[in-house]
Chain A
């Protein structure tokens, strides 16, 4: 039987500021990807709902392409491949934000489309009959009802985005896992460091996951 490992968290506490900088980086990337991913997702979702083929076909191609390739491949493509086509270089934050946002846009577009299509046609027709334009009917009548039904799926997407931010460490963007790598190699304490990083993510996301479950149960009761 090998000697028991002595856990020592002191070096981590001394370097809490390094982890803090990483946490800020994680939150910044998460916020950017959440806003870009959801707004672009709504636009693409509406595009897939559109009747014109010129809008519908590119929206579908976008969704299929980004849903069927791994996010990490997309991030590395934006980081290593895209700059060759552009006259300027791309920093790690931009590459990671582009990859994660576009990927999330493709997934949330499907949530938006499903939500919009779940609202009965009669609602949009009634709104049109009252003299609203189709854009007004969508904004005032269909979307407010659809968003309610989509809420659990959208919070799930948010949780996925939060977990995906760790992939930015592959292009050396300063976020929690990247800072963890730095500390682990500096202090030779991968056990404590990666355990703490895992615990931080768990503590941030577990309440969100529970809230999503509760939301699902409540919506399941109020409108089946």
Chain B
């Protein structure tokens, strides 16, 4: 019978804390680049000009239909040779997860923009606004409110996906867990604690998202997915 002993885990709590911090840092960076890029991709895809809409569609479809781990390997092992740059695991991960989540965010943006009735466009145009002004002043503010729940859900998915960087040796929570497990010969305790850390952080975030969803639903805003 295995005797559970969590003391070695507590002794290395600082390593795990550093890992969690790196996980959050990576998630934050991917969100900071992914959301604006997603908006650009969505606007390009909605553009009547094929020269804009086709490349955007291609990027979105490719990044949505290939496994994120394959993308990460490509950016980490293949891209540096192709363009002759040094690639660190962190840069490769930020690049991959930014573009990958941008592809998903783009579809959320697109759904939200399309959900705003055409009459709104026409009314704003009739008032003399340029298409760009209509988008910024009338359509996007309404669309963004409808997209909030889908956004937050996607951000949670992103945090779960960041665990993949452990495979290319970036010191996120999962990588640190593996290190501590090998150092202490206590994989059961260390991996269990890590699973619980992820659970509590992500569960807290999900609960928050559900609260936001209920409030938006109560204020009479539909949801775009």
Q: By DSSP majority rule, is chain A's interface helix, strand, loop, or mixed? A: helix
B202 with A69: CB separation less than 8 A: yes
Q: By DSSP majority rule, is chain B's interface helix, strand, loop, or mixed? A: helix
Q: Which residues of B contact A180 (CB under 8 A)?
A: 70, 73
Total contacting residues, chain B, CB less than 8 A: 42
* A11 sits at the interface (CB 8 A): no
* A62 sits at the interface (CB 8 A): no
- What is the distance, in angstroms, from A191's C-beta to the closest C-beta of chain B? 4
Total contacting residues, chain A, CB less than 8 A: 43
A105 to B82, CA, bound (A): 40
A205 to B71, CA, bound (A): 15
Q: Contact check: which of A5, A191, A209 meets B65 at CB < 8 Å?
A: A209
Count CB-based A-B contacts (< 8 Å): 117
Q: Chain B 171-199 against A: per-residue CB contact (8 Å), 1 yes, 0 no? A: 00010011001000001101110110011
- What is the distance, in angstroms, from B29's C-beta to the closest C-beta of chain A? 18
Q: Chain B 66-94 against A: per-residue CB contact (8 Å), 1 yes, 0 no? A: 11111101100110011110000000000
B203 with A202: CB separation less than 8 A: no
A129 to B81, CA, bound (A): 70
B198 with A73: CB separation less than 8 A: yes
B187 with A5: CB separation less than 8 A: no
> Which of B110-118, B130-138, B140-148, B160-168 is near enough to bind chain A?
B160-168
Q: Chain B 42-86 against A: per-residue CB contact (8 Å), 1 yes, 0 no? A: 000000000000000000011011111111011001100111100
Q: Chain A 175-207 against B: per-residue CB contact (8 Å), 1 yes, 0 no? A: 001001100100000110111011001100110
- What is the distance, in angstroms, from B190's C-beta to the closest C-beta of chain A? 8
B167 with A170: CB separation less than 8 A: yes
- What is the distance, in angstroms, from A187's C-beta to the closest C-beta of chain B? 13
* A215 sits at the interface (CB 8 A): no
B203 with A5: CB separation less than 8 A: no
Q: List 5 A-B contacts (CB under 8 A).
A: A70-B160, A73-B195, A81-B191, A163-B66, A169-B69
